[in-house]
Structure 1
């Protein structure tokens, strides 16, 4: 009986206490609710054990609830009276305080690392998004001409851009290129590059020494934006690097393109993939012509598209294949029909050219008047070039590589009948070109301790109208088309990123006037 009384007393005390605590501050309410629930469970257990009768338990709970309600009302009235004019502040648990402190600490540390607080050598964050690169080349070049060559005046009479065919020439030349790439934002990059050279030659950045100590000029060689919205897709706009996989058979190494290009290479970031296809396309304005009275020439354009595949069956073998089509629009000359319209189509003449392509005089007065000093020459043919390029890179003796290159091009836009109508000349088609080359050695010259070296030998054959002579290699045969011959050379690293190279190129004409040229180049190169 004593135990039962004690249990009942505890239950009643718990109920009363819980009821009193119900009016306590908000931070205690959770504990009050837990205690209240525990008390109810205890009373129910006493009833089940026969310690209390159900009627007694109900009466006990009813009385306790009445007392709790009276005390709660009194407490609320007292609290209302005491808090008149008092501003309440929300209570923040200690755990929340710790979480806030940790979050603030992490943000401050991240900002300190980003802005390099306390680092006396720190530079502004935006400088980390800039990347500089450049190179310098000091060259000796010897141009050797056969005594059996036709005089330069003979070439000039038919419009070929030839200034010397008989007198050997020695030149010292320099080339400086300095480029800057800037990461504007995620997926947006800008690039610029300045070089030596001049604005009238798209395929050379050389500066010849011997100008009576006069200063050199610098030109803006590149200026473009590159967008990479996704990993597989890249878009360029402006004056951009050559976006196509190619050799110097069609495009000189120093040539940059003006316009817009897009490249899609699915899976390119995944280095583990053996097959990596790619597609490249571009639209490039060659010459914008203001349409005005007395001018009938149209804007000149270049459209290009290429599809290819890179296959890497192992880490020591890589093959890359590309098939391209390059279509020039409004590039052929148009004859001025009568003396009264002389000059109407003068701007159809190419703005830049080297030598080799078939030409005709587009000025009608010049066609009928042999006394004119400077007749205007235009290209006789249209140029739509199909091009196939293949490179095989074998590294079984890594770091020494064996690289084979084959490049073939044909002007499929050459139409002999159309040329006859346009020029009055029946010009036989010479529209094929190819290049084969074997290279053995290191692919880069970064560490002189490895005695890095490279050697190559190759053969080049470019018929008169196979490619546009303005944009092909400017060194072999001193530029242009209508030549054939071999090349041999090598390089050896002297210091880190510094190497000496030599090249010998021997060429002869394929058809037309005799012109044999040997070119020797000795270069000291530095890359930074």
Structure 2
């Protein structure tokens, strides 16, 4: 730190002028007159009046005082008989009132600067540093995935088919080979995986906050920031995980826009813990006066995809915008029943706008059409489980209908309007141990098999039984129980054990957004999970988790996942 940064204050113009005037006060002072004078003090004071630094009555008082004090100096010199000799240094006399004023103004300026720059106190930092918060976490995990030998080995990976497609579904013409197939039988043992997240939050003012967070990830999946190690020791990817601005119009309300953390009270049955939302949310939380009840709620609008109708050779401009949105609202309350018990519940409604696939107009990709007009309606991201259908209505080649190339994408057969109910009870039991019981129920209110058939024009390719009837459903639920010496793992020695059960019918929710660990993501799954956690130190804890799941309908697919990990937060 330089000397200039340690002490760089600027006294006011009044202080500087008064100091100069006082320094000149020892010179002979003429009587006040409106005419020009050779006395530098009076000329300077008059100049300060003209510049607006001094008021006239202040100037008159200063001149009067300077005249009087100069006369006193001259009288004292005459009485002492001392005469100035060559080489003598004359020390000007500064009046007491001027010294006091200079001291006060300098003190004010210095303290103001010291407060702004925080150098007046030891072990402090500039103000902008105190408004920045850095936070993050690192997780090191060992993971094993076990598949039952009796699983079907003919489960098509439709997410990969869409990503690499279109795929020719005509077995008479296809030169694409077999469609992409999910691994359902070959175990994946001892996968070394990491997750690292680093966020910076700045409190711009009392009402405004901005934040950015970076995270790892093997790809741009919205439901996982976990990175699998290996890959020839190559460097790992970093993604922009969050970027947002928050405004607080009141103590009980916030408005946040950008790429934000999940603003809803939910579980990983519906939304993965790593999922972030692209859009805006208004969140409120307010305790009821005189009661041990706090109400909360959220309204949000989030873009899930910006899509355009495809351009074809018969068109000269891009197609119309076909945007997809998630619109959600939630209302809940938390009741502090007593010192040992609390109850929290919430109800939410989520409308996924424009998410269902659309059957195309008749098109002929085999004849040179670059695309069909509803290719945009295929999901931007899928896991597995939803009922799917072929999007393209491809016209047969009249020269040889049986050998018409049928390159296809798939889309979602159902619409999704979700009712989401959450309930949680926290209690202190058995000498203060924390017991948490929670439940979550989701129902797709838009689920209608008749509309799925009409929307798909009968071209459904998943979730069909032997009679070619849809095997699906609109319901999902989970139960969770946890017991520990507290409800969080913050301090050294904290511990917790937990267990739960999940049941997710194929079209209870979009399969792209929930937990990517249970059944390795998606819907059409049921099973249990259990595990435990222990804090080795403050903000450092280990966890062991095991989940075992199988399909609800369709071909056999049982999956066990074991995860052993260490987490560090800062």
Q: TM-score range by the shorter chain?
A: 0.7 to 0.9
Q: Distance in 2 between matches of 1:500 and 1:372?
A: 54
Q: How many residues align?
A: 444
Report 1:65-464 matches (<5 A): 83-85=32-34, 89-90=57-58, 105=107, 108-117=110-119, 122-153=124-155, 163-170=182-189, 171-267=191-287, 273-290=291-308, 293-294=311-312, 295=319, 298-340=322-364, 343-365=372-394, 375-396=408-429, 400-425=433-458, 427-441=470-484, 442-448=486-492, 451-464=493-506
Q: Does the CA contact (< 8 Å) of 2:310 and 2:374 recur in 1?
A: no
Counterpart of 1:9 in structure 2 is: none
Of 360-369 and 456-465, more deviation after overlay is shown by 360-369
Name the SS of the counterpart of 1:265 in structure 2: strand
Give the superposition deviation at 1:313. 2.4
Q: Does the CA contact (< 8 Å) of 2:310 and 2:376 recur in 1?
A: no
Q: 1:512 to 1:111 in 2, by over 3 A?
A: same
Q: Does the CA contact (< 8 Å) of 1:198 and 1:219 recur in 2?
A: no
The reply on whether 1:467 has 2:509 as its aligned counterpart is yes
Counterpart of 1:69 in structure 2 is: none
Structure ranking higher in helix proportion: 1
Q: 1:132 to 1:430 in 2, by over 3 A?
A: same
Q: 1:139 to 1:440 in 2, by over 3 A?
A: same
Q: Does the CA contact (< 8 Å) of 2:308 and 2:320 recur in 1?
A: no
> Gaps (5+ residues) in structure 1?
1-80
Q: Does the CA contact (< 8 Å) of 2:436 and 2:487 recur in 1?
A: no
Give the superposition deviation at 1:446. 2.9
Scaled by the length of structure 2, the TM-score of the pair is 0.72
Q: Distance in 2 between matches of 1:507 and 1:338?
A: 41
Name the SS of the counterpart of 1:390 in structure 2: strand
> Gaps (5+ residues) in structure 2?
1-29, 35-41, 47-55, 66-95, 163-179, 313-318, 459-468
Name the SS of the counterpart of 1:437 in structure 2: strand
Q: CA RMSD in A?
A: 3.1
Of 469-478 and 98-107, more deviation after overlay is shown by 98-107
The reply on whether 1:499 has 2:518 as its aligned counterpart is no
Q: 1:279 to 1:447 in 2, by over 3 A?
A: closer
Counterpart of 2:172 in structure 1 is: none
Report 1:504-515 matches (<5 A): 504-515=546-557
Q: Does the CA contact (< 8 Å) of 2:146 and 2:188 recur in 1?
A: yes
Q: Distance in 2 between matches of 1:218 and 1:407?
A: 33
Give the superposition deviation at 1:398. 7.4
Q: 1:373 to 1:457 in 2, by over 3 A?
A: farther
Give the superposition deviation at 1:297. 6.8
Name the SS of the counterpart of 2:394 in structure 1: helix
The one-character-per-residue Cα deviations of 1:166-225 (angstroms, maximum 9, x if unpaired) are 000021100001111111122100011000015531001111111011110100000000
Give the superposition deviation at 1:456. 0.3
The one-character-per-residue Cα deviations of 1:103-141 (angstroms, maximum 9, x if unpaired) are 874664354244222567553321111101111111111
The one-character-per-residue Cα deviations of 1:236-290 (angstroms, maximum 9, x if unpaired) are 100001000011111000000000110122348x9x8511112211001111123
Q: Distance in 1 between matches of 2:444 and 2:296?
A: 24
